[in-house]
Amino acid sequence: MANFVLVHGAWHGGWCYRETAAALRAAGHTVFTPTHTGVGERAHHSAENITLETHIRDVCGCIEWEELSDVILVGHSYGGMVITGVADRLSDKIRSLVYLDAFVPEHGDSLNGLLSKALAPEVAAQFLGAFRGTALQDHSGLMQPIPAEMFNIAPANRARVDRLCRPQALATFEMPLLLTGALDNIKNRLYILADNWDPSPFRYFAAKAEKASGWQVVKMPVSHDVMVDMPKELAAELLKLA
Amino acid sequence: MANFVLVHGAWHGGWCYRETAAALRAAGHTVFTPTHTGVGERAHHSAENITLETHIRDVCGCIEWEELSDVILVGHSYGGMVITGVADRLSDKIRSLVYLDAFVPEHGDSLNGLLSKALAPEVAAQFLGAFRGTALQDHSGLMQPIPAEMFNIAPANRARVDRLCRPQALATFEMPLLLTGALDNIKNRLYILADNWDPSPFRYFAAKAEKASGWQVVKMPVSHDVMVDMPKELAAELLKLA
Amino acid sequence: MANFVLVHGAWHGGWCYRETAAALRAAGHTVFTPTHTGVGERAHHSAENITLETHIRDVCGCIEWEELSDVILVGHSYGGMVITGVADRLSDKIRSLVYLDAFVPEHGDSLNGLLSKALAPEVAAQFLGAFRGTALQDHSGLMQPIPAEMFNIAPANRARVDRLCRPQALATFEMPLLLTGALDNIKNRLYILADNWDPSPFRYFAAKAEKASGWQVVKMPVSHDVMVDMPKELAAELLKLA
C-alpha cells in the first residue's frame, strides 16, 4: 500500500490524472492529485501574482494536511519544478521522485531559464516568446495554454484537454527554484520520457538522468500528456514503485 | 502646475517621500506617492506572490484614477523597474521620466538580471545571494530589507528607515519587465545619481545615460536614499522639470 | 498645521477628495486620501474576499507608516464604518472624528444591519436587495455601484463619478464591526449631514448625534457626495477643526 501524489503540469489540473488515479486506487493504493492555485478547479484564484513558490506550497500542503509519508511523488512537465521544491522541503516524507516528461531543475533554475539549456536556441526562443508574449497581451501576466495538438496529444483527447486547460501566471515559469540541498537525501528517482512528440525539451533531461546514479529511465511511445493518452500504461509503470 | 508621481524603491513606501512631496506641494504642484502592494501601509497584504506586474498596476492605477496627464514620473532604485513599465503602458500620460539612483531596464530585464551587468561579478553575487538567501529562509519568498547603513544613509535617519522598511517579495526582483516599446515616445529623461555610496549599481546606468540622447544626468553628493537625506535638494532638482 | 486623513465611501477611491485635499494643503495642512483595497487605483486587487477588516487595515496602515498623530479622521458614507474601526485601534493617534454623511456603527453592527435601523423597512429592503442581488449575479460577490443620480450628485459631476466608481465586495457591508471600546476616548466628533438627497439613512445618525454629548452637527445643502459637489465648502468646514 503506497501513497501517490500526482502533480500536474502547466495549465492543467488534477483532472488530467483521473484515469491513472483510478487505476492506482483499484490496486489498493492511496492517491492525491492536488491542483495548483489558479488553474483547474482553482481557476477562480487565477491571477498574475501566482508563483512557483505558491504551487510548491500547494503540494506541500497536500502532503502535510493529509499526513502522508513514504510518498511516491510524481511531477509532469512543469510539475518537475514543483516536485523538486516539495522534495527539498519534505525530503523525509518522500520515498521516490518520478519526473514524467518533466523539467529537472537545480538550485537557481527557472523553467524559462532551462529552456535554453534543453532546446536548440531558436526553439527555446520560440517557446519563451510565446510564454512572455501571451503574458504581455493586455498586460495579463498570464500565459495562454499550448494547444493539445502541439504536444501531439491523441486527436480523440485534444478537445477535452483544450477545454479544461486554463491560463497560468508567467511568474511560475520565471521564478528560480531555491533549494537547500535536503533533496539529495532522496535516492530513488525515475525519469519517464514521452517519446512521441517533438521538439521536446525533455530528451535533454532524460539523457542527463541516464548518466546519473540513482536514476532509472523509461521511455513510453506517447505524446507529452502521458496520463491522458496512456493512463493505464502509466499506472502500470508507477505500480512498479509501489 | 505640474503633476508629480513619486515611486519608491524596494522595502520602502510612499512615506519616504514625505518631505519632498511637501516641498513640491508648497510650490503649488500636485503630488502622489503611491505605495506598492505588500510594503509600507500596504504591508498587511505582504505575500510571496507579489510581482513586478503587481507594482506596475499599483502605479498605473494611481495615474488612471487620479486622471493625471503630463506626469513627471519619478522612480527610486527598484522603482526604476516600475516606472519603466508604467511609462510603456501610459506613455501618452507621461511628460518626463526621472530615474533617481534607479535601475533602467530594457525589454526582458529583471532587477536581479541587471545586477550582473551593473556590478562586478563578486558584488553582484553578494547582492543576489542576499536576496535569494533571505527569501529561502523558512521558504518565506520575501527578501529582507538592506540595512540603512549599507546605503550610507545619514546616521540620524537610519533608525526611521530601518523601522519603516518591510520585507518584499522576491518575485518583484526576479520577474522580467515586458515592454511593447511605446515607452520610446517619452523623450525627456533625467538620471539623478546619488554619488556618496558604494558599491552602487547605479553608476553603470548613469554612465549609459550620459552617452544616450534625450537624457540629462545630475549627480548629488548623497546616500542612496536621496529623498530621505536631501529631500529639499531633491525637490529643487525636480522643480526644474515643472 | 493639522493632519487630515480623508476616507472615502463605497465604490469610490481617494480620487473623490482631490479638490478638498488641494484646498486643505493650500492652507498648509498635511492630507492623506488612502484608497481601499479593490476599488479606485487598487481595483486590480478587486475580489469577493475583501472585507471591512481589509479596509480598516488599509487606513490604519496609512496612519502608522506616515507616522501621523493628532489626526483629524474623516469618513464618508461607508467610510464611517472604516474610521470607527480605525479609531478604536489607534485612538491615541486621533484628535477628531468626522462623519461625513456616514454610518456611525457600534460594536457588532454591520452596514447592512444598520440599514434597517436608519431607514423605513421597505427602503432598507430595497437597498439590501440591490446590494445582495448584484453580488449574486454571476456569483461575483461584488456589489455594483449605486448610480450617481440616485445620490442626487450634481449633473455636471455624475459622469465622472460613475466612470471612476468600481464594484465592491459584499463582505465589506455584511461584516460586523468589532470594537474594544478604546474609541470612547475620542471626545471630539463632528457629524456633517448632506441635506439635499433622500431617502438618506444618514438623517438617523445626525439626529442621534444631535442628542449625544461630544458631538457637533452641521448640515450642508448638498448631494451625498459632498466632496465632489462642494469640495471647497467641505474644506472650509474641516478647517474649523484644524
User: What are the residue numbers of the active site of B?
Assistant: 77
CB contact under 8 A, B64 and C44: no
Chain B touched by C69 (CB under 8 Å) = no
B165 sits in the region (left: phi over 0; alpha: psi -120 to 50; else beta) called beta
> What's the confidence (pLDDT) of residue B238?
98
Nearest CA in chain A to B54: A49
DSSP-derived 3-state class of residue B6? strand
Give the residue from B15, B41, B45 with the most C CB atoms within 10 Å of its CB, the best one to mutate.
B41
List the single residue in B with minimal CA-CA distance to C62: B41
Query: Long-range contacts of range B123-126, CB-CB < 8 Å, 24 or more positions apart?
Result: B123/B199, B124/B201
A134 touching B (Cβ < 8 Å) = no
pTM: 0.95
Closest CA–CA distance from residue A136 to any residue of chain B (Å): 6
Give the whole-angstrom CA distance, residue A139 versus residue B69: 21
- Each residue of A199-224: pLDDT tens digit? 999 999 999 999 999 999 999 999 99
Residues of chain B in contact with residue C47, where contact means CB-CB under 8 angstroms, are: none
B51 CA: distance to closest CA in chain A (Å): 6
CB C40 within 8 A of CB C164: yes
Q: How far apart are CA C139 and CA A220, in angstroms?
A: 44
Residue C182: the pLDDT is 97
Question: What are the tens digits of pLDDT across the range A58-109?
Answer: 999 999 999 999 999 999 999 999 999 999 999 999 999 999 999 999 999 9
Distance (Å) from the alpha carbon of B210 to chain A's nearest alpha carbon: 30
User: Given A46, A77, A140, A223, which residue is catalytic?
Assistant: A77
Q: Do C65 and B15 touch (CB under 8 A)?
A: yes
Share of chain A above pLDDT 70, in %: 100
Q: What residues in B contact C63, CB-CB < 8 Å? A: 41
| Cβ–Cβ contact B136 with A under 8 A | yes
Do the bridges between strand B188-194 and strand B94-100 make them parallel or antiparallel, or are there none, so unpaired? parallel
Q: Is B71 helix (H, G, I), strand (E, B) or coil?
A: strand
Query: Averaged over C74-86, what is the pLDDT?
Result: 98
**Residue C34 contacts B where some CB pair is shorter than 8 Å:** yes
How far is A27 from A236, CA to CA, in rounded Å? 10
Respond yes or no: is residue C77 known to be catalytic.
yes
Which residue out of C77, C96, C110, C200 is catalytically annotated?
C77
Please indicate whether, in this complex, the C-beta atoms of B139 and A53 are within 8 angstroms of each other.
yes
Of the partner residues B171, B174, B178, the one whose CB lies closest to the CB of residue A132: B178
Tell me if chain A has a CB within 8 Å of the CB of B120.
no
Q: What is the DSSP string of chain C?
A: --EEEEE--TT--GGGGHHHHHHHHHTT-EEE-PPPTTSGGGGGG--TT--HHHHHHHHHHHHHHTT--SEEEEEETTHHHHHHHHHHHSGGGEEEEEEES-----TT--HHHHHHHHS-HHHHHHHHHHHHHHHHGGG--EEPPPPGGGGT--HHHHHHHHHH---EETHHHHSPP---SGGGG--EEEEEEE-S-SS-THHHHHHHHHHSTTEEEEEESS-S-HHHHSHHHHHHHHHTT-
Q: Is C65–B40 a contact, with Cβ atoms under 8 angstroms apart?
A: yes
Separation of alpha carbons C144 and C150, rounded Å = 13
What is the least distance, in Å, from the CA of B118 to any CA of chain A? 20
* Cis status of the peptide bond prior to A201, with omega within 30 of 0: no
Phi, psi of C177 (to 5 degrees): -80, 130
At C13-40, the pLDDT tens digits run: 999 999 999 999 999 999 999 999 999 9
**Is residue A181 less than 8 Å (CB to CB) from chain B?**
no
- E strands in B152-204: 168-169, 188-194
Distance from CA of B212 to the nearest CA of A (A): 27
CB atoms B65 and C41 under 8 Å: yes
Say if C25 is an interface residue toward chain B (CB within 8 Å).
yes
> Per the CB < 8 Å rule, is C61 touching B67?
no
What would the DSSP string read from start to end of C94-147? EEEEEEES-----TT--HHHHHHHHS-HHHHHHHHHHHHHHHHGGG--EEPPPP
β-partners of residue A6 are A74
Close Cβ partners of C196 (under 8 Å, ≥ 6 residues apart): C152, C221, C222, C223
Determine the average pLDDT of the residues in A182-191. 95
- Give C14's contacts in chain B (Cβ within 8 Å): 65-66
Residue of B nearest to A135 (CA): B178
Q: Quick check: C46 contacting B, CB < 8 Å? A: no
Distance CA(A10)–CA(A166), nearest Å, equals: 9
Q: Does C47 touch chain B (CB under 8 A)?
A: no
A-chain residues near B137 (CB < 8 A): none
Measured between CA atoms, the residue of chain B closest to residue C68 is B15
Give the number of other CB atoms < 10 A from CB of residue C163. Answer: 10
Which residues from chain B sit within 8 angstroms of residue C55, using beta carbons?
A: none
Give mean pLDDT, residues C69-81. Answer: 98
Q: How far is A128 from chain B (nearest CA, A)?
A: 11
Sort out which chain C residues have CB atoms less than 8 A from B13's CB and list them: 65
**Nearest neighbour of A171 by CB, restricted to B56, B175, B180:** B175
Q: C58 CB near a chain B CB, below 8 Å?
A: yes
Q: Is C30 on the interface with B (CB under 8 A)?
A: yes
Query: Cβ of C11 under 8 Å from any chain B Cβ?
Result: no
> What tens digit of pLDDT does each residue of B183-207 get?
999 999 999 999 999 999 999 999 9
Nearest to residue A111, comparing CAs of A76, A88, A77? A77
- Contact between B15 and C67 using a beta-carbon 8 Å cutoff: yes
Element holding A5 (H helix, E strand): strand A3-7
pLDDT in tens, chain B (242 residues): 899 999 999 999 999 999 999 999 999 999 999 999 999 999 999 999 999 999 999 999 999 999 999 999 999 999 999 999 999 999 999 999 999 999 999 999 999 999 999 999 999 999 999 999 999 999 999 999 999 999 999 999 999 999 999 999 999 999 999 999 999 999 999 999 999 999 999 999 999 999 999 999 999 999 999 999 999 999 999 999 99
In angstroms, rounded to a whole number, what is the distance separating the alpha carbons of residues C242 and B33? 23
Grid cell at residue B65: 484614477
